[in-house]
Amino acid sequence: MHKVVYKKQLSHDMFWMEFEAPYVVQKAKPGQFIIFRVDEFGERVPLTMAATNKDKGTVTLIFQAIGRSTILLSQQEVGDSIADIAGPLGKPTEVEGYKRVCVVGGGTGNALAYPVAMGFKAAGVEVDMISGFKTKELVVLEEEFTAGVDNFYLVTDDGSAGEKAFTTEKLKSLIEEGKEYDEVITVGPPIMMKFVNEVTKPYGIKTIASLSSIMIDGTGMCGCCRITYDGKTKYVCVDGPEFDASLVDWDVLLARNAYYEEEEERDREHVCRLTGGVRHHE
């Protein structure tokens, strides 16, 4: 069991929560993820670790309460416990050997971009951060990014906070201004990451995408998280989650991620006739 030791609501559906997970913390590195289960009946859900604290033995998760399991997770309070936190899983972010990088986060992907940006900064790398959101009400981690990176750029689709622009537009303008990046790392909706790669490609800038896909066991055995990468099959859980964006077959990834959209929508709308709340299991 893993006890909740801290909880903060960042927006109407974004949460910052810390859990006791001393064994996970011992080997965790930026860019890796965990798989949690709220209870013994729960599904296995992957989440990138936003931070770890070895002294306290805690793992920080920043997530959007959008599906059944993340909604249940968000309903836990300090002192409650969840069944499982398994990890660390996946390959860590490569942060050595760079002078300047740009991290591009879109929407909820900013929560996943946070540990990546902090990992580079801790390694002595100069970090520019572009955070994009649809509107002001959805902005999260502005203070944390401002304090943690060298240059922080906030953009919104409607201009209600920061600059009115898409992340891709801001990235292109920075490059055209003369910013020289050793690498661009993008985290967010697959369609955004696809277009980030299209922005950087003409300039020959290496671009890494942190992918999320349908996942079950997290050890490469089930094959659910497979992607087409450089014409071959790779698995996000063990080969990633970070990949060279120019080698990802984005059309295949987009199609696979949308496969269960109708089922997920029905699951979110289901109301238990006994409790009046979200069901824990069938």
Q: pLDDT digits over 41-92, tens only? A: 888 888 888 889 999 999 999 998 888 889 999 999 999 999 999 989 999 8
- Find all residues with CB under 8 Å of 61, minimum gap 6, and list them: 16, 17, 18, 19, 34, 36, 47, 49, 50, 73
pTM of the shown model: 0.85
For residue 99, what pLDDT is reported?
96
Q: Specify the CATH number for 2-89; select among 2.40.30.10, 3.40.50.300, 3.90.230.10, 3.20.20.70.
A: 2.40.30.10
The sign of the CA dihedral 269, 274, 275, 281 is negative
For residue 56, what pLDDT is reported?
94
Domain residue ranges of the chain, discontinuous segments joined by + = 2-89
- Find all residues with CB under 8 Å of 85, minimum gap 6, and list them: 2, 19, 21, 24, 34, 35, 36, 59
Per-residue pLDDT tens digits for 166-219: 999 999 999 999 999 999 999 999 999 999 999 999 999 999 999 887 777 777
Give the residue from 257, 106, 125 showing the smallest Cα distance to 169.
Answer: 106
Query: What DSSP element (H or E) covers 34?
Result: strand 33-37
For residue 155, what pLDDT is reported?
97
For residue 207, what pLDDT is reported?
97
